[in-house]
């Protein structure tokens, strides 16, 4: 908060990996790369450093502050993407693509699209819980602080969300999904 370079570097070193995971999970790949998600994660880190002098500890984990900023930046990026959406037929590429081949890209894109479609069937709170718990790896206590819920409520909502996702996935694939402990 006093602007000490070593402390800021340590803080960013601790929060940046989780912020990147969160942004990638919420925004996904664009054109076979996480460029947009990584850019948004950088915006989150800059916004965090700017907001840090105004931060006051109020009995909740610091991660609630960080992921609150991240959620707002992701929402802003999603809104901007909707406004600037260019049809795929109009996109042109001037240099060779170092990404995986077309077949792997198609498979990855289909899987990501399917996952996003499945997540879209969840209420917003359950979707946030699944992303924060599974993709980012936050604890139930940390997610509870971010979403203003108790850790027990987070676990119950996560269990219901995963059960709903299993049922939806089983319906799509016409086969029962294995139950997995999370």
What is the SS3 string spanning 148-160? CCCHHHHHHHHHH
CB 132 within 8 A of CB 138: yes
Q: Each residue of 128-160: pLDDT tens digit?
A: 898 888 878 889 998 998 889 999 999 999 999
Confidence of residue 97 (pLDDT cuts 50, 70, 90): low
**Which uninterrupted H or E stretch holds 23?**
helix 5-27
CATH placement of domain 101-182: 1.10.10.10
- Identify the three-state secondary structure at position 33: strand
- What does DSSP assign to residue 32? T
pLDDT at 177 over 60: no
| 33 strand-pairing partners | 30
Residues of the chain with CATH 1.10.1740.10: 1-99
CA distance 146 to 70: 11
Q: Determine the topology of domain 1-99 in CATH.
A: Rna Polymerase Sigma Factor; Chain: A (1.10.1740)
**pTM above 0.85?**
no
Confidence of residue 115 (pLDDT cuts 50, 70, 90): confident
Mean pLDDT of 104-108: 68
């Amino acid at each position: 908060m006093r602007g000490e370079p070593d402390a800021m570097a340590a803080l960013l070193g601790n929060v940046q990996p989780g912020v990147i995971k969160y942004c990638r999970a919420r925004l996904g790949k664009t054109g076979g790369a996480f460029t947009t998600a990584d850019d948004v994660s950088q915006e989150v880190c800059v916004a965090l450093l700017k907001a840090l002098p105004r931060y006051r500890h109020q009995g909740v984990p610091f991660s609630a502050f960080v992921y609150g900023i991240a959620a707002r930046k992701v929402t802003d990026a999603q809104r901007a993407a909707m406004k600037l959406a260019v049809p795929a037929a109009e996109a042109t590429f001037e240099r060779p693509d170092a990404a995986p081949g077309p077949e792997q890209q198609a498979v990855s894109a289909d899987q990501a699209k399917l996952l996003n479609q499945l997540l879209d069937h969840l209420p917003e709170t359950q979707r946030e819980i699944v992303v924060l718990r599974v993709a980012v790896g936050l604890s139930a206590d940390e997610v509870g602080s971010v979403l203003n819920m108790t850790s027990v409520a987070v676990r119950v909502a996560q269990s219901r969300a995963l059960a709903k996702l299993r049922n939806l996935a089983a319906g799509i694939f016409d086969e029962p999904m294995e139950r997995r402990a999370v």
